[in-house]
Structure 1
Amino acid sequence: MRICFLVPELGRSGGAETIRSYARLLEARASFEVELIRADGEPIPEGDDPYDVAIATWWGTAGHLWRVPARRRAVLLQSIESRFYEERHFFERLAAEEVLSLPVAFVTVAGWMRDLLAELRPDAPCEMVRRGIDKSAFPPRQRAPREGPLRVLVEGQPSMWFKGVHEAVACVGAMREPAELTVVAGDPADAGEVDGARVVGGLDPGGMADLYAESDVLVKLSRVESLGLAPIEAAHVGTPAVVTPYTGHEEHVVHGRNGLVVGFDDAPGTVRALDRLARDASLLGTLSEGALETAREWPSAEDAADSFADALRAIAERPAPDAEPALQDLARARLRRLELTREYVRQSEAALERAEGERDWLRRALQEARDHVEELGTAMRGLEGIVAQKDRLIEDIRSERAYRAAVAVRRALLRRGG
């Protein structure tokens, strides 16, 4: 089977590593021929020999699917990507949402996304393949009883708003019990200021496994995730996690069994959970054993590649999706985008008008202040002239012979009187 992945880039993110892993493991199978195509950089290949399946891996690559000769087209959904953007990134959010309306098959990495697509696009073929773990890189570790401060590992890029890294760091800093804090980031150079933490990054899977094993607990307070890869990797070496209830956590974290779930924006609750783990070695041990049990049931990278290969075969063998329902859904999405854009423009114009009004008021106030300053300057110069005249008058009086004589008489009288 001949397939291609359309990629925007292949950095150090978990999503990029998933694509690399599938490409590598599928290529090792004799029945697969795999290509990675940079959708935004390299020329899109053309020719009469179509791919069996062309796969977009990010919303920005989905539009290139029809530039690739292919019998079937699919989108690998590693998250609902519109959620990565803040409200101010209006157009990116809408563009990412429109991918869900395309006449393609979908492959999701989590059950919650499969269920969501079943509601939004019941006509769309959808396969679910969980991301596997390289069991050789993340083998179970023997964990000695903890001595000293609680060793806390916070995972995530601090510069990404939805990762909750700064919130996690603040919670560790607010603990009553002693703790040692490490932050692991994909790009430490772009981490910014992280108070009271050792910041590391750029680690290979073996290095990450060692870091997890050196930690007593992983803290991940994300607002947006598909599954949350770090807690799954950490579980494989017996490190439990404290997580927020982001989408996908329920597929591998069970509160009180292999980790603890705290609320969004619940800093006091998170601090209490960490202090509890620092004080209760028995609870920490129970969660560690539960994490290892979860890891044993999680698919390996080879298992996931097998499931992904089965999903691609199913997509290739299944008739191409009916374009009519997809186009209807896309038309509704475009109409929604148009209406929301109109409202966004209206609000932007109103904000611009307010800003221009405030600017004009400030300009007038500044000019009035300058005028007052000029008036005050003129008045001050006039007063300075009057004071100078009085100073000269005083000096003239003091220089007169009669004044000096009067002063001498007064002094003489004062001496006699004394």
Structure 2
Amino acid sequence: MKIAFLLGDAAISGGTYVILQHALYLKRIGHDVTIFFIYFNCKKWHEAFNNITFKYIYDYKNEHFDIAIATWWKTVFFLEKIKATQKLYFVQSIESFFINNSQFELKKEINSTYKINLPIITESSWIKNYLKKKYNSDATVVKNGIRKDYLFPPANGGLKRRVLIEGPVDVDFKNVPRTIALCKKYSSFEIWLLTSSPIKSFPGVSKVFSNIPAHQVGDIYRECDYIVKLSYVEGMFAPPLEMFHCGGTAIVYNVTGHEEYMFNNFNSIIIKESDEKALGNAIQSLEKDPKLLSKLKYNAIITASLWPDWSISSKNFSDAILAASTKQLHWENLYTSTKTSRFTLMSFLSKIPFFLTFYRKFCLNVMCPYLYPFLPNRGKRKKDIEL
């Protein structure tokens, strides 16, 4: 079958990794797979780049597909136009949650993509339940897999006295700069950072690993005892699960998606969102109580052993897209804002050549390390507003 994935950005991210894994599996079992991208400003960091055809998203016009799959809210607008017998939506999070509530029009556009009656596949039970409750839309859950050939426990399971923080430093809802500041405050362990941000150092961090290929991340996880992940929004976030596979445990906020595999005081420590005092207590408990740390690590390994690898996950994904029923689609429910963006200094400056490049570097090298760590709750999202 001819299958098209409509991808937002080909750069390194957990969500893109999931899409590439499923696409590569479909290619290897005999399907003709094409990935159409909106943005491609990265190195070839995944084996899919050498095995699958990638095309700019506007190049879809002269082709017909058996199945076309939107994977990001913006790609749904292209899905309407592409020629395909079956159209699907792979939803990895409720993406309007990533947007500040003040951006009403943008949130309305994003949420309109859930109102078309597209057959939906998702990776997490909370997303399935949310879509059913809010939009009366049914979704099939396919849990993400794990590369168990890369992610496995170390031969020496002793104490490393090292904590890992993961995530881009300039995405506010990932809350990475504040996480680093809190770990520096409460932890006596060495702090490492695994990030997709193009940085070489960060205050409070002894080692930065930037844009590391997927097959190398296990070596980093295995050198740490636990990961601290304090995101405010997630789909089914993988880093704690990856740490479980590599012999460590995790401290996280009770963010969406944690319930898929994390259990408080069994394989990890889960604390109430933004409760920084509880975070401090959790860090000190792990570092001062070897029995607690060993128990959580042991149970994390058990949890990891029960989790499917990518061969199982992607087979389930393949089964789900082939079994999806054809529905009457309501493209008229797609909403495109007609409001003209109001003038702002940033909108004016962004038109100046090279300004956005300069601004990104300024954010990464000044605002993220020296301002954001002192802003508690940066990126915090309230419950999604009614639209």
Structure with larger Rg: 1
Answer yes or no: is the 8 Å Cα contact 1:218–1:241 preserved in 2: yes
Equivalent in 138, 163, 170 of residue 174 of structure 2: 163
1:4-403 alignment runs, 5 A limit: 4-30=4-30, 32-39=31-38, 41-47=56-62, 50-122=64-136, 124-146=137-159, 150-175=161-186, 178-189=188-199, 193-315=202-324, 318=325, 320-323=326-329, 330=333
* Alpha-carbon distance change, 3 to 125 in structure 1, aligned in 2, over 3 angstroms: farther
Partner of 1:356: none
CA distance in 1, matches of 2:241, 2:169: 20
Distance 1:143 1:244, change over 3 A: farther
**Percent of pairs with identical residues:** 26
Alpha-carbon distance, 1:292 to partner: 0.8
Contact 2:233-2:255 at 8 Å conserved across structures: yes
Per the TM alignment, residue 42 of structure 1 is displaced from its structure 2 partner at its CA by 4.2
The amino acid of 1:99's aligned partner reads: T
Structure-2 separation of matches of 1:112 and 1:284: 29
Alpha-carbon distance between aligned partners in 1 of 2:124 and 2:211, rounded to the nearest angstrom: 26
Q: What letter is aligned with 2:190?
A: E
User: Which of structures 1 and 2 has the larger relative contact order (alpha carbons within 8 angstroms, sep 6+)?
Assistant: 2
- The two structures, once aligned, show a CA RMSD in angstroms of 2.5
Q: Equivalent residue of 2:60, what SS?
A: coil
Contact 2:163–2:226, Cα closer than 8 Å, also in 1: yes
User: What is the rounded CA distance, in whole Å, between the counterparts of 2:57 and 2:121 in structure 1?
Assistant: 25
Give the partner amino acid of 1:45: Y
Q: Which amino acid aligns with 1:25?
A: Y
Distance 1:206 1:38 in 2: 23
The alignment of Structure 1 onto Structure 2 pairs a total of residues equal to 328
Structure 1 letter corresponding to 2:173: F
Amino acid paired to 2:295: T
Change (3 A) 1:125 1:178: closer
Q: Quick check: 1:157–1:187 contact (8 Å CA) kept in 2?
A: yes
Q: Secondary structure at the match of 1:101?
A: coil
**TM-score, length-scaled by structure 2:** 0.79
Residue 275 (structure 1) shift: 0.7
Tell me how far 1:268 sits from its aligned partner: 1.4
**Amino acid of the structure 1 residue aligned with 2:170:** S
Higher helix share: 1
SS at match of 2:35: strand
Contact 1:155 1:230 in 2 (8 A): yes
2:226–2:251 Cα contact (<8 Å) kept: yes
Q: Encode CA deviations 1:154-176: one digit per residue, 9 max, x unaligned.
A: 1111111111212211221222x
Contact 1:44 / 1:68 at 8 angstroms: preserved in 2?
Answer: no
Query: Take 2:38 and 2:113, find their aligned partners in 1: how far apart are those partners?
Result: 16
Unaligned runs of 5+ in 1: 349-418
Q: Name 2:372's counterpart in structure 1.
A: none
Structure 2's unaligned 5+ residue stretches are 40-55, 344-387
AA paired with 1:296? S
SS class of match (1:313): helix
Q: Distance in 1 between matches of 2:198 and 2:64?
A: 41
> How far does residue 44 in structure 1 lie from its aligned partner after superposition?
3.1
Looking at structure 2, the residues matched to 126 and 165 of structure 1 have their Cα atoms a distance apart, in angstroms, of 31
Query: Residues of 1 paired with 2:27 and 2:197: CA distance?
Result: 29
Q: With structure 1 as the length reference, what TM-score do the two structures score?
A: 0.73
